[in-house]
Structure 1
Amino acid sequence: MLHDDPTKEFYGRYKDEFREFLRDPMKRLFAEIASSLPAEFCEYLETEKKLFSRIPKNDWGKGGAWDYYWGAFYAKNEKRVSSEQLYLTVDRLGIRFGYSQGEYTNNKGVWLRELLASGSPVVKQIEESLSSVPGLRYSAPESSETGTLLTESSGYASFSDWVENIDTALLTASVSMSAEEVLSLSSTELKERVASVFAALFPLMLRDTVAISALFVSVDDEEELQANPVLSLDEIHSLTGYNRKWIGKAVAAVTLKKQAVLYGPPGTGKTYLAKMIASHLIGGEFGFREIVQFHPSYSYEDFIEGLRPVASSDGVLEYRMIDGRFKEFCDRARNVDGRCVLIVDEINRANLSRVFGELMYLLEYRNEKIPLAGGSLFSIPSNVYIIGTMNTADRSIALVDHALRRRFAFIHMKPDYSVLGHYHLLKKTGFDTSGLVSVLEKVNKAIEDRNYFVGVSFFLHEDIRERIENVWQLEIEPYLEEYFFDKPDIAESFSWEAVGKEITGRE
């Protein structure tokens, strides 16, 4: 071990191992932490250049090496060793991370000592913020017999004791974790733990009471968080005209299974209803809904995680493990009190087995964690719901992977002609839908296959009277010509010239 043989020679023999298991993981961790911090923090902090220490000592040829490794975010336009910093140190025993005034800060610490001793209201704000950080100790020496690990004799356990002795205390505040604790966490959990401590300690980096006060104002003095508006099933029925009983069954299926697919032919309102159901589920709570659209080139790396090329500030191209859309969604949902719904529009257009990867297992075993391809442990939070939409004209449900069908509740949506009348009555358009409904019924009878029926959402426009001819000729006719490519006479029988008068009721 390097601790037992702290020499450049020992380091040189295992240089590749140090790079693979220490330096590179540290660089990835810091990059992930930086991406999770608020933008205003990163405007002040240097988060890209010269963040990390060297293991070989600069000891004028004596050949020594440090038995620990550390990195830090520090004030921009300053040097890491002489600036306030948010740091993380790792050694054989574990890690320590937090705030330090820096090893060669000269008189920069005077301002912070004077602030903490002043009794200013902003000091109370800092104390309240730091009180929520478990395991935080103040004025702990940077090195000791216990290495990175903090003990009950390490500095002060409370902010008030630190301030009371601020004239002689060290300007440090840190948390430690043993090697066993670190290894028990996934990379995401470790990132969140370190990032939360860095965020709480960030006010100590600022040298301006106005800036510190503004930071707390932006967080604490905002309007009280409001719950999402409640959207009842009756309201969904009134707004859309869809059958109240069907809406209830669809919501019950999503709630019970936690993942469902609304499937049906084009124009049946699948995406619109998915948004309505999502709004109902998060109503009265503090969750959120998001939508993502799949397409043929959508990949596991887009949805879960993958290596992405990232150019550093000095132009060097590096590959970093970047979270995909679903993993980011789940990370946000873990910190929310309430249900969170991800709508996957046109879910069947991607190669689902490839996109979902290990997620296929987690969709069935919601209470478990599994390692992802990148090595981190991952689980789906219990408050996450998934609603997919599937256009059966693109791909029949019969072609969907059986393993996927078993994990999702599939809810069929057929053309509901009553929605047409409901919409135009609600919007007071004056458009008589009887002729249009009659023609659509004939069209769908000729099609026969319910997966290819023509839905009604093509005609849900307040100015449909003026634009219906264009809608029919530019959207419906091409669709029918493609479907009846081997029966052109049937397609011709539903051309605008053939059915326009019946639809509009005009000669």
Structure 2
Amino acid sequence: MEKNSLSKVKISTENRYELSKVVREFVDYSDWGYRENEGNYSSERAQSNTYITGKKKSSVTSSIFIGGLHFGWNFNQFWGGKKLWSKGFVDSGDVNIVYDRSVESQKELRVEKHIEGSQSQVFATISLGPQSPTDAQIEKIVSNFWEFEDQISDSKKEIQDEISYKNQFSNILLDSKNIIFRGAPGTGKTYLANEIAADIVSEGRSTETKDLTNEEKSRIGFVQFHPSYDYTDFVEGLRPKINDNGSMGFELQDGVFKKFVSRAQENFDNSQKSKEDIQKEASAEEKMDAFFESIEFGVDTFSTINGSKFSITGIDDRHISIDVPGNKISDKVSLNIHELQSMLAADQNFKKVKDVNVFFGKPHGTQQYSYDLALYKKIKIRSTRSTLPTVPPKKKNFVFIIDEINRGEISKIFGELFFAIDPGYRGTAGGILTHYANLHDNPESKFSIPKNVYIIGTMNDIDRSVDSFDFAMRRRFRFIQIRADQRLEMLSILDEKIREKAIRCMKSLNKEILKIEGLNENYYIGAAYFLKLKKLSFNELWTDYLQPLLQDYVRGMYNEVGIMKNFEDVYQNACSDTLGQASDIDDSAEN
């Protein structure tokens, strides 16, 4: 047997042992919780227990790494209902080991793949009857897990291998989900982030944003953090608006990141749907479009089952605004346009408001449902055109760039999103209630970040805010240092002689910087500064850009004047034979 094969067997054996230990403790913990609480969940008892891998349990999740996979375990009401201990998961993101005791006489251990919006794909099942699983049964289900996980990993690798990315960091981002480029000023971190984003959304076709289609460009998001940036800018918040009557009011609006994630989520969800579901939704959308085109806003009236008259005053991407003159409490009502579309796409015939309540899982209806039902009946009877899509859209990657990520107050900007952006909790498993959840159409709906969203941050190591960069955020990003001499290829747009002298000047300055006590490679001068030579002379570059930067570096130091004189001498000596105007060359690669 080859050395690599022996190593794989050894690693696999260690993984099986470690995961079997976790599942054993998880099962025992579940049994204890169910027995002690008679099937009902007790947060006090859960949080006081130190079961799985010796870590203190919480009411939500804990985690551990085994064999390069991030495992979490949880008991969640989404799956278990009121008897929260009756169903739990040990999961690695794609594949779950499920201990299902929802029927005590028919317990099961399963290996399954969770598919958002659809029934899970079951790979293996061990029926336990009324008994708890033995060690042998746990070892068997763990073996099934690794077999299934290997199949999925191989499938992923085959798909990824089909795409040859041009940038060396593209696959690193795809594997890590979140990365931050750190380094000295002017090292091309922002430009590199844009290259990677273009590489990924174009599937390796180009690293230049100018080569992308409009659709591909729409899958790249960009924001630059600053000290005044906050949660309401990034996630969601209240924004002023002018009401129809001219008065001032406020409305909840999504921030730049949430809007971006919503587009990615829509693509991800649609890619998981069947051809039939896509056809039904397209049909519903066409019927709605035809209906809204045929009516006159504010003039045509409609009636609910109870005879309440109303008219439609406007629509947008998310809401239908209606006017109800006879409503003494509120004559302005906003309907969720997606809920109406869901009703039209469903294989159901809604006759009463109660039917709508049941469809949306609401024990008690809302005022809006009576208007939804009235519009549903009007739109349902319309015929549709035959130009319907028959194939679900392909799942596509979305890349969000956060420039100068450390200049913002991270905890104030991300809030509860710390959990949702964790690579191990992407998708519904990492769903969270946002700060303004009580103002949503459905206050119980959770916001999550799908697996097709990738985040790139950039930061300068010498920025004074680096020291306060949130440690909770640090754990969720992979940090990659970009050195000053690592991106010299960006100078290829310069004339050859100027490029050679620019590199010599940069290296000479950086060598001198390293001699100063208190300075290190984080204070190096990056190549992006020298791209300005397309329009400036070396003297102008020194007086207008490099000298002020270096002055900030050494301000307050002993012999500040002498240090600056040395910097200038080194620069002038290195660049002495290249002084003068440089040729006019495209500066598109500047950071």
What's the TM-score once normalised by structure 2's chain length?
Answer: 0.41
Relative contact order, CA 8 A, sep 6+: which one is greater? 2
TM-score after normalising by structure 1: 0.48
